[in-house]
Amino acid sequence: DIVMTQSPDSLAVSLGERATISCWSSQSVFFSSNNKNYLSWYQQKPRQPPKLLISWASTRESGVPDRFSGSGSGTYFTLSISSVQAEDVAVYYCQQYYGTPYTFGQGTKLEI
């Protein structure tokens, strides 16, 4: 199984500050035949289902504010929020879809 590990477990930032969450995979999730990283990011606000933010490590979903960005390749990835807003308070998860079982990181709780 591919183990996904996030850091930190929780993160407190001030409004307008930059937040960065790291995600490591225990093996590469880069598929050379199509040059893509099989890595997604989700946001889960309290009492809500998860929401897809980013796929393919860096492709922002339609409607997601451009302050959210994803980067990385192979086994190391980051989710950045350039200027944190109050509505960004949530738990953030990375997920690999390179192979079954499709595994998630343990989550990072973002607080203001």
Partner 1 sequence: EVQLVEWGGGLVKPGGSLRLSCAASGFTFSTYSMNWVRQAPGKGLEWVSSISSRSDYIFYADSVKGRFTISRDNARNSLYLQMNSLRAEDTAVYYCARDYCTSASCYYYFDSWGRGTLVTVSS
Contact positions toward partner 1, by CB under 8 A? 38, 40, 42, 44, 48-52, 55, 61, 93, 95, 97, 100-107
Closer residue to partner 1 in complex, CB, 5/83: 5
Compute the least distance from the CB of residue 16 to partner 1, in Å. 28
- Give least dist CB 98 to partner 1, A: 9
Residue with Cβ nearer partner 1 (10 or 83): 10
- Vertex 58 angle, CA 48 and 18, to 5°: 70
Strands annotated E in the chain: 4-7, 10-12, 19-25, 30-31, 36-37, 39-44, 51-55, 59-60, 68-73, 76-81, 90-96, 108-111
In angstroms, what is the minimal distance from the CB of 18 to partner 1? 24
Nearer to partner 1, 17 or 61 (CB): 61
- SS3 label, residue 61: coil
Closest separation in Å from C-beta 40 to partner 1: 4
Nearer to partner 1, 50 or 82 (CB): 50
74: left (phi over 0), alpha (psi -120 to 50) or beta: left
What does the alpha-carbon distance between residue 110 and residue 45 come to, in Å, rounded to a whole number?
A: 10
